[in-house]
Amino acid sequence: MRDERVIIIGGGSGMGLALAELLVAEGARVHIAGRSEAKLAAVARNLDVTTSRVDIADEDKVRELLAQPVDHVVVTAADVNGAYNPIREFPLKAAWDVLGTKVIGPWLVAKHASNVMKKGSITFTSGVAAYRPSPGSSMLGTANGALEALARTLAVELAPIRVNVVSPGWVDTPIWDDLAGDAKHDRLSAMAAKLPAGRVGRPSDIAQAMRAVMGNEFITGTTVHVEGGHRLV
């Protein structure tokens, strides 16, 4: 990855930040885009990257982000606020927000990245909710499944650009502070006890899988599951 240009959308924390750290250590030129100015400022203080504030569902911002040649684009953006609701109580706006971040946003990224890429890779992030649904996850499961279908289609349409998906399971990231609050430790521990791997994921687990997909020129149109065996239990 030395001197290759990589854009990570949603890299201000968690899995995206872990990937940025890994790639910077390899000598890549990394640009991190996200919605939180505070997170971006903190990353820029501690890591040799450039940053910009971008809402992935805003086409003008995505077009501006992808105006220059790039070798790899990775999307880890997620918005869990309002993503879990019983369907009878699910606000329409919250449903559109989930689709905007998880499906339309990545679609916009591919649309504009394809104009400045000759080869290289685009990597999306879905999730185990598409395979192990739970009550209240109707839109998240739908969005994750749709994203994988999108990647397969784009792998054919945009070839030789490779398009893949990494599908994490439960990963100990700051998102869980919003999802579970004080119950975070108990919920993650309960899941760890169920998983064949014996623990929940770490951001570095997902980053390593993304790096492998980016670097392997014979992987495209594929979903790589990194979930400790969650689909099996």
Active site residues: 126
Provide the β-strand partners of residue 34. 53
Tokens read off for 8: 């990570």
Can you tell me the distance from the alpha carbon of 59 to that of 52, in angstroms, rounded to the nearest whole number? Answer: 15
Tokens read off for 21: 């750290």
DSSP state of 32: E
C-beta atoms surrounding 136 within 10 Å: 15
Q: Give the residue among 140, 117, 138, 119 at the shortest CA–CA distance from 217.
A: 119
Q: Which residue has the tokens 């918005």?
A: 79
CA dist 208 → 103, 127, 155 (Å): 23, 16, 21
CB 4 within 8 Å of CB 28: yes
Can you tell me the distance from the alpha carbon of 177 to that of 180, in angstroms, rounded to the nearest whole number? Answer: 6
Q: For residue 68, give every residue at least 6 positions away whose Cβ sits within 8 Å of its Cβ, in sequence order, or none.
A: 5, 116
Can you tell me the distance from the alpha carbon of 122 to that of 109, in angstroms, rounded to the nearest whole number? Answer: 9
- Residue 157, classified by CB atoms within 10 Å of its CB into exposed (0-12), middle (13-18) or buried (19+), is exposed
